[in-house]
Copies of this chain bind each other. A is one copy, B any other.
Amino acid sequence: MPFAPLKNDTFLRACWRQATDHTPVWLMRQAGRYLPEYLATRAKAGSFMGLATNVDHATEVTLQPLERFPLDAAILFSDILTVPDAMGLGLSFEAGEGPRFARPVRDEAGIDALAVPDMDKLRYVFDAVASIRRALDGRVPLIGFSGSPWTLACYMVEGAGSSDYRQVKSLLYSRPDLMHQLLSVNADAVAAYLNAQIDAGAQAVMVFDSWGGVLADGAFQAFSLAYTQRVLSQLRRDGADGQPVPRIVFTKGGGLWLEDMQPLDCEVLGLDWTVNLGQARARVGEGPRGKALQGNIDPNVLFAPPRRIEEEVAKVLNSFGRPHTDPDSTGATHVFNLGHGISQFTPPEHVAALVEAVHAQSRMLRA
């Protein structure tokens, strides 16, 4: 059964640097703990992984924010650490502690034992993609995603979140050969994983290099960027319905390296809130090799009253400036988003104010 035709293609058009009548908006972690209905579904599921591995639950929570807010895209509800979990590292989520691996990888034997996992172990993700795509019924496009090879490696070596990345950087600086071996496996696994999401119905894919920004200059290019490119070079160009699938790369803390990212085989670069959007546009957003830019309001803006949220939305939109409006060509475009995931403490009505402000103000910006 073919998928329903897309009713709102604003997000995809902006990814392809085509003119749109408003700036599309979606929010990293838009399906999440700040929504009471999410907490209710999660309580039913019993745990985070119980939620992520159940197709019906994953479909339900993915669509929840769309019922509240006129967002221009949906994103698969899942976690970036599903791939190393499928490699056998034993993912769990302790209450209030974040993810943890039972069997972190820290030495040559551990890295030698790693391999691209059988994608059948991740079937629950691809089934969720197909289910969500059907449930969306063409309302907005569905974004699939994965952690970047380096970001996965951080968790695989540290075994959990870290404040100093001591274990993974000790390995990197002491045994760069082993780190390259680990990253090669990760890159091929992530590529297979994203391709399976594309086959299942994802209409765009995003690589989250959440921890690329902790690397030193030089190390970032060698140990993160090169492996993100290794993923991108293996991705299918067309989705299940024959439509081309745009690719987004988001490196938190990567603003200094935009010129290094420009040659990446992707359409969109995600930016955090430290980056001036106008400067980023001048650096990598214009011209035939230009990238669409996604971001970048500070999620903490959502704790301010709606009037202040509207002012901060205006600053971000005006910083990017007027997107190109020529229907016959491509040019600089902007996908509005947060600079990182939404906080669990965010008042949902403030999200409504943000989305409305982006739509209304960005139409005026084009008038």
Contacts and interface: CB of A to CB of B under 8 A. Distances in A.
A304 interface: yes
A173 B217 CA distance: 32
B213 A274 contact: yes
A216 interface: yes
Contacts of A315: 218
Contact of A164 (B216, B297, B300): B300
Interface string A204-239: 000000000101111110000000000000000000
A298 interface: yes
A181 interface: no
A68 interface: no
A217 B296 CA distance: 10
A27 to B, nearest CB: 16
Nearest to A216: B273
Contact of A300 (B166, B213, B218, B312): B166
A303 interface: yes
Given A218-B315, A255-B256, 5 more contacts: A166-B345, A173-B312, A216-B298, A217-B273, A217-B319
Interface string A324-344: 000000000000000100010
A17 B4 CA distance: 66
B339 A304 contact: no
Contacts of A164: 300, 343
A339 B213 CA distance: 13
Contacts of A166: 300, 303, 343, 345
A124 interface: no
Interface of A: 164-166, 169-170, 172-174, 213, 215-220, 253, 255-256, 273-276, 296-298, 300-301, 303-305, 308, 312, 315, 319, 339, 343, 345
Contacts of A170: 300, 303-304
A300 B296 CA distance: 30
Contacts of A165: 300
Contact of A173 (B172, B213, B300): B300
Given A300-B166, A301-B173, A274 B308 contact: no
A255 to B, nearest CB: 5
A233 B211 CA distance: 37
Given A169-B303, A256-B256, A217 B274 contact: yes
A173 to B, nearest CB: 4
A324 B298 CA distance: 41
A305 B174 CA distance: 6
Contacts of A343: 164, 166
Contact of A220 (B274, B296, B303, B339): B274
> Which of A256, A296, A305 counts the most B-chain CB atoms under 10 A from its CB?
A256
A337 to B, nearest CB: 14
A352 to B, nearest CB: 17
A304 to B, nearest CB: 4
Contacts of A275: 217, 256
A110 B273 CA distance: 29
Contacts of A298: 169, 173, 216, 219
